[in-house]
Amino acid sequence: MIKVEKEFARKMFDISGRVALVTGATGALGGAVAKAYGYQGAKVVMTARNASKLRELEAEFKAEGIDCAVFAADPGSSEEVGKLIKFVVSTYGELNILTVCHGYNNPKGILEQSVEDWQKIMDADLKSVYVVCKASAEQMVAQNKGGKIVVTSSARSKMGMKGYTGYCASKGGCDLMIQSMASDLAPYHINVNTINPTVFRSELTEWMFDPESAVYQNFLKRLPIGRLGEVQDFIGLATFLASPASDFLTGGNYDATGGYWSN
């Protein structure tokens, strides 16, 4: 007799009723993940620094019947993140899923970049990830019900690039930090993984999607799947890593590169 639990197999991707906190929710990937979680019946708290953009999202999502709330906070500030976690718990009673989608880059060569500019990237893409993960993990441990932490890293975490000393270092650090965090939190049944995307459509990357451009053509030479990423391509992995289907997976860096990493 083959042993597969029927109920588990039927519901392993089900995140309905779970409380999910999504950072960078005003961005392309964060907004898509928050909406996708909401469509699947999760209760979603969206955060970013821009309060008015958050209010617009809240109105849009609620009009579609999504159970959601918003709270503006800087993910790099322990004080603000502390208030954010209190808000999540006072609104929905607990926190089950943290999905980190905030980030920043300002590419410059080492000869042109100031130490302060470099530090700003490190703080936005590494320190702030630590701050939100730590506060969320503390809350999940106190609840004693396990949890899921999904962090958006980058394909650039494992590949250097001209002008990317800050971005590549922060994302490479992010992957290793998440692997270490996964070991710290495994005894509490909290899974911690990264998603590592190449180029996905956003306000900042829109220019790369021009099929006539040299940048686009160069990417395609190394993209077996034959196109760049759309936000819809991101939500499956973000759901899988937030769902019971990934209960055995922790400390992983998951390829969302359309084959770029393998080619």
Ligand X SMILES: NC(=O)c1ccc[n+]([C@@H]2O[C@H](COP(=O)([O-])OP(=O)(O)OC[C@H]3O[C@@H](n4cnc5c(N)ncnc54)[C@H](OP(=O)(O)O)[C@@H]3O)[C@@H](O)[C@H]2O)c1
- Shortest reach from residue 194's CB to ligand X, in Å: 10
- Shortest reach from residue 168's CB to ligand X, in Å: 11
Nearer to ligand X, 142 or 204 (CB): 204
Q: Which residues contact 45 (CB under 8 A, 6 or more apart)?
A: 19, 20, 21, 22, 68, 69, 70, 71, 84, 87, 88, 91, 92
Of residues 211 through 240, those in contact with ligand X by CB under 6 A are none
Are 185 and 143 in contact, with CB atoms under 8 Å apart?
no
By CB under 6 A, name the one of 81, 168, 177, 199 that touches ligand X: 199
**Active site annotation includes 104:** no
Nearer to ligand X, 16 or 213 (CB): 213
Q: Which of 164, 167, 254, 260 is catalytic?
A: 167
Cα 247 from Cα 189, distance rounded (Å): 8
Cα 110 from Cα 78, distance rounded (Å): 30
Place of tokens 């790369």: 208
Of residues 10 through 69, those in contact with ligand X by CB under 6 A are 24, 26-30, 48-50, 53
Q: Which stretch binds ligand X (CB under 6 A): 7-15, 88-96, 107-115, 199-207?
A: 199-207
By CB under 6 A, name the one of 75, 172, 251, 258 that touches ligand X: 75
Residues of 216-251 as b/e, b for ≥16 C-beta within 10 angstroms? beebeeebeeeebbebebbbebbbbbbbbbbeeebb
Q: Which stretch binds ligand X (CB under 6 A): 84-92, 98-106, 140-148, 183-191?
A: 98-106
Q: Specify burial of residue 30 (Cβ count, 10 A radius: 0-12, 13-18, 19+).
A: buried
Q: Which residues are designated catalytic?
A: 167
Give residues in contact with ligand X (CB under 6 A): 24, 26-30, 48-50, 53, 75-76, 101-104, 124, 128, 152, 154, 197, 199-200, 202-205
